[in-house]
Amino acid sequence: MLVDGMALLFRAFFATAVTGQYMVNSKGIPTNAIHGFVKHFFTAIEHFKPSHVAVCWDMVSTTFRTEMYPSYKANRSDAPVELIPQFDLVKEVVESFNVPNIGISGFEADDCIGTIAKQMQGEANVTILTGDQDILQLLDDHISVALLKKGYGNYMLYTPVNFQEEKGITPQQMIDLKGLMGDTSDNYPGVRGIGEKTALKLLQTHQDIEGILTNLSLLTKGQRAKIEADLEMLHLSRRLAEIKCDVPVSCLLEESFLDINPNLAIQKFEELEFKRFHHYVEKKEELTLF
C-alpha cells in the first residue's frame, strides 16, 4: 500500500479544524492532523491488510510543474499555522511505525507514488490510498486506487475495469481529459469553454488529444475555435496533469515490510499525548502476518 501522506494529513486537519478542535497538547503543539492521520492509516491497514507499506509526501511547494507554469496551485492559501508544526511530527510518527517516508525535492508525492507503483510491476500488487482523483491515471492490472470518502474506513476502490465503466475512457486517457478540461484545484485552465462532458465525448470519439487535433475538421465550429485558441495551454495542461513515473526514487519491498515495533510506536504516542491509540500497534500479529 502506497499512502498519499498529505492527502490523509490535510483531510484529518480540516475535519476538526472547522470547529476549532486542534487538540493542543501540554507542550502547546496542535496534534489534530496527526491524530486523524494515524486513525486513517490504521483503519486502511485493517481494511486492506497490506504486507508492505510506504508513505509518500510533497516536500516543497516548488516543483518542476511550477517551473513550467508559475500559476500552478497558486490559488491555494498558505498552510494554517496550526498545521505547520505537524508536518515534521507526522513523519516522526510514521518513522516510529518502521514505515518508510518517501519524498523528493522538485516533485510531488503523486510522482513518487507513480514511480514506485510502476516499479512494482511483476513483484507486487499495489493499492494507492489517497483522496486525489488525479492518481486514477495510474490504474492498471497491478495498481488499484482507494479513494478516501467521508469518515473513516469508507473508500471507493477503483480498478481499470470499474473506472472505464464509470468514465467511458481508460485510465491513461484521464491525462488527456485533464489537459482538455483543466483542473481548478491545481489552477490550470485547459481549454477555456471545454468542460468534462465535452472532453469525455471528444476522447471517446478520437482517443486522445493528438486524435482530436488530427480531426479538428470533424468537430463543431465552437469546439474547433476553442481548441485552436488555447492550443498552447492545451499541451501545457496535459504535461501538468501527467504523473511522472520515472523520478529518481525507489522503495524496495524489503524496506517497506510492515513490521511495527509496538514499544517504539507507543513511545511516540505517549510523547504526543495520544492516550487511545495503543490498541492499533498492540495488534502486531494481526498487522504483520498475512
Q: pLDDT tens digits for 210-259?
A: 999 999 999 999 999 999 999 999 999 999 999 999 999 999 999 999 99
Average pLDDT, rounded, for the chain? 95
| Same domain membership, residue 156 and residue 14 | yes
| Same domain membership, residue 94 and residue 16 | yes
Nearest-CA neighbor of 250 among 117, 137, 106?
A: 117
Nearest-CA neighbor of 287 among 116, 53, 55, 93?
A: 53
| Same domain membership, residue 196 and residue 56 | no
Residue 289 in domain: no
| Same domain membership, residue 227 and residue 132 | no
Question: Is residue 10 a contact partner of residue 33, using CB atoms and an 8 Å limit?
Answer: yes
Nearest-CA neighbor of 194 among 219, 171, 169?
A: 219
Q: What is the pLDDT of residues 122-147, one digit of tens each?
A: 999 999 999 999 999 999 999 999 99
Q: What is the pLDDT of residues 40-63, one digit of tens each?
A: 999 999 999 999 999 999 998 899
Q: What is the pLDDT of residues 258-281, one digit of tens each?
A: 999 999 999 999 999 998 899 999
Residue 285 in domain: no
Tell me what percent of the residues of the chain surpass a pLDDT of 70: 97
| Same domain membership, residue 178 and residue 50 | no
Residue 213 in domain: yes
CATH number of the domain where residue 146 is located: 3.40.50.1010
| Same domain membership, residue 176 and residue 40 | no
Residue 130 in domain: yes
CA–CA separation, 191 and 122 (whole Å): 38
0.85 exceeded by pTM: yes
198 to 106, 204, 220: CA distances (angstroms) = 33, 10, 11
- The parent domain of residue 223 ranges over 172-241
Residue 212 in domain: yes
CATH number of the domain where residue 178 is located: 1.10.150.20
Question: What pLDDT is recorded for position 283?
Answer: 61
> For residue 142, with 0-12 CB atoms within 10 Å meaning exposed, 13-18 middle and 19 or more buried, which class applies?
middle
C-alpha cell at 244: 511522472
| Same domain membership, residue 42 and residue 83 | yes
| Same domain membership, residue 208 and residue 147 | no
pLDDT at 96 over 60: yes
